[in-house]
C-alpha cells in the first residue's frame, strides 16, 4: 500500500506548519490530541470539526489552515497516537539484522499490548469509517503501505542473508503478519482474552521456523546410498 505521505496525498497545503505532529508544544499538537480524543469517543462520522477545535481551545480556522478536512486530520491523529513498532523494537532489542528474530519479537509483542488503549480505539474507528468514506480508506491504505514496505525490506534482507526461504513470497508474509495484527485489534475491541505470552511465542516461533530455508539435500547423505536401490531390485526379482 505505498502512496506516499498521507498528508501530501490528501492535498494539504505545503507549509512549514505541515508536520504538526513533530512539535509537541505547538498548536498542531493540541489539535491532534483533541482530534484523537473526539474521534475515539464519538467515532469518525459523529466527530465534528467544531468540537475538536473547541476542545483544543482553538478555532476551526486553525484546523483548516493545517488540514484539508476530517480525513486528513484523522490520518495525522493516528500517526501521532500510534508508536512506530519497528523503531521501538529496534531500540529495545538491537536485532543486528536477524530477520527471524525480528519476526519472532514483533509477533510475540502482540499479546502484550494494551487491547483498549486510545491508539487502538482510534485505528478501529478509522477502519469503520473507511467502509463509507473513500478518503479515509485511501488514508489508511497509504499509512499501511509505509509499514508494509518497511517489513518487506526486512524480510528481503533476511532472504539475502539466507535466513528466510526465498521461495516464500515476501508480500504474502507481510500480508499474513498484518492480518494477524489486525485480528488482535478486533479481538481487543470485544475484550477477547489472549493466550498467555509463552504459549503465543511458541506458536510464533513455529510459524517463523517454517519459513527457514530448506536444508541442503547434500548436507546429510544416507549412510549407504546404494542400500535403497539394492533392496528395490531384490523385491522386484523376488516377489
User: What's the CATH code of the domain at 41?
Assistant: 1.10.10.60
pLDDT of residue 146: 85
Residues 69 and 111 in one domain: no
Q: Which has the higher per-residue pLDDT, 229 or 153?
A: 153
Burial letters 202-239, b for 16+ CB under 10 A, else e: eebeebbeebeeeeeeeeeeeeeeeeeeeeeeeeeeee
pLDDT of residue 50: 95
Q: Which has the higher per-residue pLDDT, 225 or 148?
A: 148
Q: At residue 207, does pLDDT exceed 60?
A: yes
Residues 72 and 135 in one domain: no
pLDDT of residue 46: 93
Q: At residue 91, does pLDDT exceed 60?
A: no
Residues 164 and 195 in one domain: yes
Q: What is the mean pLDDT of the segment spanning 165-193?
A: 89
Residues 105 and 162 in one domain: yes
pLDDT of residue 158: 86
Find the domain containing 159 and state its range.
85-209
Q: What is the mean pLDDT of the segment spanning 61-80?
A: 90
Q: At residue 56, does pLDDT exceed 60?
A: yes
Q: How confident is the model at residue 96 (pLDDT cuts 50, 70, 90)?
A: low
Residues 74 and 91 in one domain: no
Burial letters 84-117, b for 16+ CB under 10 A, else e: ebeeebeeeeebeebbbbbbbbbbbbbbebebee
Residue 236 lies in a domain: no
The three grid cell numbers given for residue 79, joined into one nine-digit string: 500517526
Residues 6+ apart with CB under 8 A from 199: none
For the stretch 127-163, pLDDT in tens is 999 999 999 999 889 988 988 898 898 889 889 988 8
Q: Cα–Cα–Cα angle for 43, 126, 203, nearest 5°?
A: 120
Q: What is the mean pLDDT of the segment spanning 195-221?
A: 78
Q: What is the mean pLDDT of the segment spanning 28-35?
A: 92
- Of the candidate ranges 49-53, 114-118, 204-208, 220-224, the one whose mean pLDDT is the lowest: 220-224
Query: Residue for cell digits 483544543?
Result: 56
Answer for the pair 157, 164: CB distance below 8 angstroms, yes or no: no
What integer best gives the mean pLDDT of the chain?
Answer: 75
Q: How far apart are CA 119 and CA 91, in angstroms?
A: 21
Q: Is 114 helix (H, G, I), strand (E, B) or coil?
A: coil
Task: Report the number of secondary-structure helices (H) and strands (E) in the chain.
Answer: 12, 0
The three grid cell numbers given for residue 224, joined into one nine-digit string: 549407504
Residue 26 lies in a domain: yes
Q: At residue 13, does pLDDT exceed 50?
A: no
Residues 6+ apart with CB under 8 A from 202: none
Q: How confident is the model at residue 81 (pLDDT cuts 50, 70, 90)?
A: confident
Answer for the pair 95, 157: CB distance below 8 angstroms, yes or no: no
Per mean pLDDT, which of 12-26, 52-66, 153-167, 202-216 is the most reliable? 52-66
- Of the candidate ranges 90-104, 135-149, 157-171, the one whose mean pLDDT is the lowest: 90-104
pLDDT of residue 99: 62
Q: How far apart are CA 39 and CA 70, in angstroms?
A: 10
Provide the CA 155 distance to its chain's centre, in angstroms.
Answer: 14
Q: How far apart are CA 148 and CA 153, in angstroms?
A: 9
Q: How many residues does the chain have?
A: 239
Answer for the pair 140, 79: CB distance below 8 angstroms, yes or no: no
Residues 143 and 92 in one domain: yes
Q: How far apart are CA 98 and CA 31, in angstroms?
A: 39
Residue 100 lies in a domain: yes
Residues 75 and 91 in one domain: no
Amino acid at each position: 500500500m505505498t502512496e506516499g505521505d498521507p498528508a501530501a496525498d490528501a492535498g494539504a497545503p505545503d507549509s512549514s506548519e505541515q508536520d504538526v505532529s513533530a512539535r509537541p508544544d505547538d498548536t498542531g499538537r493540541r489539535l491532534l490530541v483533541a482530534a484523537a480524543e473526539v474521534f475515539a469517543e464519538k467515532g469518525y462520522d459523529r466527530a465534528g470539526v467544531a468540537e475538536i477545535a473547541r476542545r483544543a481551545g482553538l478555532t476551526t480556522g486553525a484546523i483548516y489552515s493545517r488540514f484539508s478536512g476530517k480525513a486528513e486530520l484523522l490520518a495525522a491523529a493516528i500517526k501521532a497516537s500510534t508508536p512506530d513498532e519497528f523503531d521501538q523494537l529496534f531500540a529495545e532489542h538491537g536485532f543486528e539484522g536477524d530477520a527471524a528474530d525480528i519476526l519472532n519479537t514483533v509477533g510475540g509483542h502482540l499479546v502484550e499490548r494494551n487491547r483498549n488503549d486510545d491508539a487502538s480505539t482510534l485505528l478501529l474507528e478509522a477502519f469503520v469509517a473507511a467502509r463509507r468514506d473513500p478518503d479515509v480508506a485511501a488514508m489508511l491504505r497509504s499509512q499501511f503501505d509505509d509499514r508494509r514496505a518497511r517489513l518487506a525490506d526486512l524480510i528481503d534482507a533476511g532472504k539475502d542473508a539466507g535466513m528466510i526461504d526465498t521461495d516464500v513470497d515476501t508480500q504474502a508474509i507481510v500480508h499474513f503478519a498484518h492480518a494477524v495484527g489486525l485480528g488482535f485489534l478486533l479481538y481487543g475491541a470485544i475484550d477477547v482474552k489472549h493466550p498467555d505470552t509463552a504459549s503465543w511465542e511458541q506458536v510464533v516461533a513455529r510459524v517463523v521456523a517454517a519459513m527457514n530455508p530448506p536444508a541442503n539435500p547434500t548436507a546429510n547423505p544416507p549412510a549407504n546410498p546404494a542400500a535403497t536401490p539394492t533392496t528395490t531390485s531384490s523385491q522386484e526379482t523376488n516377489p
